[in-house]
Amino acid sequence: MEALVREKLPLLTHQALEQNMEKFIDELEDGHKRAEVEMAETVDEAKIELNEARDRGVDDIETWAQERLGEFEGDVDEVTKSAVEELEDKTMTLKERLHRQFRGQCRKMRRVHERVRRRSI
């Protein structure tokens, strides 16, 4: 019996070792495949999050730009109104000045006309 054990033990030990190694390699390969799948899922999730963050950033920039544009348009409107009012004031002042000068010239012409009339009489 001892001879039989000595003869078969190395073979059984070798077979058990091969089975354990095959099982270990299978487990490693399965673990590697799971890790690859998990990594792919993580990369996909990261891409989605990155795209969402980019979209939010673009939306934020568009909102900011629209607000600035609205403020700029308001500023332009105010400047334009102010410029128009200033031009209207200057126009009115010039009209008044021209009217006074015209009346002054008319008075001078009346005086000259009256003098000429008096001399001719």
Give the per-residue pLDDT at 119: 80
Residue linked to tokens 């012409």: 109
Task: Check residue 9 and give its pLDDT.
Answer: 67
pTM of the model: 0.50
Tens of each residue's pLDDT in the chain, 121 residues: 777 657 776 766 778 888 989 999 999 999 999 999 999 999 999 999 999 999 999 999 999 999 999 999 999 999 999 999 999 999 999 999 999 999 999 999 999 888 888 887 6
**Half-sphere CA count of 89, side-chain side, radius 13 A:** 6
Per-residue 3-state assignment (H helix, E strand, C coil) for 35-103: HHHHHHHHHHHHHHHHHHHHHHHHHHHHHHHHHHHHHHHHHHHHHHHHHHHHHHHHHHHHHHHHHHHHH
Q: How far is the C-alpha of 34 from the C-alpha of 27, rounded, in Å?
A: 10
What local confidence, expressed as pLDDT, does residue 27 receive? 96
Please report the pLDDT score of residue 117 as a whole number.
81
What's the chain's length in residues? 121
Q: What is the predicted pLDDT for the residue at 106?
A: 94
pLDDT of residue 116: 84
